[in-house]
Amino acid sequence: MLDGGIKGMKIALVKEGFGHPNSEGNVDQKVREAAARLSALGATISEISIPYHLLAGALWLPIGVEGLTQTMMWGDGYGLSRSDLYVTSLMDFHRGWRHRANELSETTKLFTMFGTYIRECHGSRYYGKAMNITRCLIAAYDTALAEHDLLLMPTTPMKAQPMPAAGASREEYVQRALEMIANTAPFDISHHPAMAIPCAMSDGLPVSMMLIGKHWTSRQSIGQLMPSNKVEIGRSTEH
């Protein structure tokens, strides 16, 4: 299906994936232009609303913070209750962070302290509550995907930003680490397959659109766009 074309595919632009408070207007515009190019290639493009998409960040936070703390940090990179292979030498090595915690990144320090505080004061109830409500988020995406082959939105609200300079504030480090995940974090917890496709250039930097598919589907829907149509979407072999 890599050369099968996309004629007849139904692709939905998710309204809530555009226009975030920190979105760059030219990024939204370039992604919409890429959607128009898909339309010219034969896909049916429509815009839909999934309000739950804007709530996903609040669901991701306890799942991400508490999961990171319990699995990556206190769990030595593995956690418990898994049937995977446990590489004990790696676990022993990772355990060494306790002796060099001052060298951790600002975000890892913050998340570890925050996650530990939540666990000690509240247990895992907020993690459990977020996981339960995430079922509603998944259902919202599944409802949209029942009528469309793919969902479409910017991968990140903005182009690549400058790395914090030496001596930058903790606030700037944390902002840079988290400011780009508004559209990607929802699918970290819903587990819908998603793919980023560079679709344009702006100010010398790439702009990326994200395509989201159904759970447990074949590669056909996403695969039809790659790689033969990649040049046409980006309008240049550079992309």
Q: Are 210 and 188 in contact (CB under 8 A)?
A: no
pLDDT per residue over 136-179, tens digit each? 999 999 999 999 999 999 999 999 999 999 889 999 999 999 99
Nearest alpha carbon to residue 197 among 15, 30, 20, 5: 30
pLDDT at site 234: 45
pLDDT per residue over 185-200, tens digit each? 999 999 999 999 999 9
Which amino acid belongs to residue 214? K
CA distances from 45 to 11, 42, 76, 219 (A): 5, 9, 46, 20
Distance CA 42, CA 7 (A): 4
pLDDT at site 233: 46
pTM above 0.75, yes or no: yes
Distance of CA 187 to the CA centre of its chain: 6
Query: What is the average pLDDT value for the chain, to the nearest integer?
Result: 90
Q: Are 206 and 200 in contact (CB under 8 A)?
A: yes
Structure tokens at 138: 């998944």
pLDDT per residue over 39-64, tens digit each? 999 999 999 999 999 999 999 999 99
